[in-house]
Structure 1
């Protein structure tokens, strides 16, 4: 079968803030009889992912088992979702070979989007080689021409920035956040742009560049005045200002 699930439909069905409703939508879509068998199976992999976000790991694994044996894009998605399940359940060492398998299969099939997805997950699961896997993902991305795939650049640079922050390298992290923000302005969604700018301001605060950080967070607050992360950053910036000796 040469039919496959369109990524734009996945985007429309997914709400990562509400995995219960997402799982229901994927189940309904997969039950539509006029869909190709492969497309229904791909939808089921996303239902498994939504179950995993609810920490229903055994159910998710059983659903993926029911889709085996698999070839092509379905095999890639199954390996990806099995890896995500193990990452979410704290079993990252078990996730790494699954993501490596997904990356190898996606490369073999010439599927840039899923290859980048697999490499980006490896950068999360395999923390000691995060820089390597991010570089691999960015190399894959060079072949992308469609905007939806190119948006991975925002996520990749943002995640790399977070990893550098965790490792105590805020100056290097700032460079990654700035690159993520630039990519978001070029190809990102409104949500990606908002969070890329928030991450940039957060890092500026950690570096003591509070005036720049405050200006950004105030602008973001005007856009989303009740967002808890923006409120927290403004509070931290206000507290920092109060500790400065006159």
Structure 2
């Protein structure tokens, strides 16, 4: 890990990109090629998170030109970020070989943190729930054995849980989500804890334990109202719970709020268009 990794604010990739660019100007003449290449990969990642995929690839082209003079860490980070840009732009066939190569180099070089990152990305980008689950389990095993990769445990729990949901193993998924919730409590990160609670509530709804789910979502809703930060995903789950409880008019209002928040969500539009269409349909009272 480099010092600039602490500068990340994943909620604001535009501001993060600018911080990285300023850092690049400050150290361009003093740092080694590998450091500069790794920093450029994070500029590309910030661009990808903003949907600036062409710009991200152009930044990574600069990194690629520097790889012959760079170390294994820079090579792995290049592969990871090129893969992430492809994955985010729905080009999984191009992404998967890059993640595989990053995994192989990471394991060989004992760069456990990045090896687990690569395996976790394969657990996202592979085409079937079974393959995604297998890669997530491999990543989890590696992370559990390496202190360097321990930070990945929360994300891996989350990925494995959703893979279990996809395969219909909802009781197993709930158990894992509840374990992940305890892990997030121990970390003390409010944003991650909020998401973990939301995940538990969603699986409770899928298990038809709707009243329990609704209580959690109502608590999350109250928190967003205190901060004046609406959350379209909380509105969506509120609506789904109310719909299952046959409170259709209340559900419609929350679907409408959800749609207003999520209709410009690029990831949702690209990866789950049927979901946003459902939210819009029920928001219109259909």
| TM-score (ref. length: structure 2) | 0.75
Alpha-carbon distance in 1 for matches of 2:137, 2:186? 20
RMSD over equivalenced CA pairs, Å:
2.2
Q: 230, 233, 238: which is aligned to 1:229?
A: 233
Alpha-carbon distance in 2 for matches of 1:18, 1:90? 22
1:10 is aligned to 2:12: no
Q: Could you tell me which runs of 5 or more consecutive residues in structure 2 were left unpaired when the two chains were aligned.
A: 249-286
- Partner of residue 242, structure 1: 246
Greater share of residues in helix: 2
- Partner of residue 22, structure 1: 16
Deviation of 1:213 after TM superposition, in Å, equals 1.1
Contact kept, 8 Å, 1:112 with 1:143, in 2: the verdict is no
- Partner of residue 125, structure 1: 125
Q: 1:194 to 1:151 in 2, by over 3 A?
A: farther
Deviates more, 1:163-172 or 1:62-71: 163-172
- Partner of residue 73, structure 1: 73
Q: Could you tell me which runs of 5 or more consecutive residues in structure 1 were left unpaired when the two chains were aligned.
A: none
Alignment of 1:177-196 (within 5 A): 177-187=177-187, 189-196=189-196
Contact kept, 8 Å, 1:138 with 1:153, in 2: the verdict is yes
SS at match of 2:9: coil
1:55 is aligned to 2:54: no
Deviation of 1:35 after TM superposition, in Å, equals 5.0
Deviates more, 1:193-202 or 1:60-69: 60-69
Alpha-carbon distance in 2 for matches of 1:130, 1:15? 27
- Partner of residue 25, structure 2: 31
Alpha-carbon distance in 2 for matches of 1:30, 1:41? 10
| TM-score (ref. length: structure 1) | 0.86
SS at match of 2:2: coil
- Partner of residue 110, structure 2: 110
Q: Tell me how many residue pairs correspond in the alignment.
A: 236
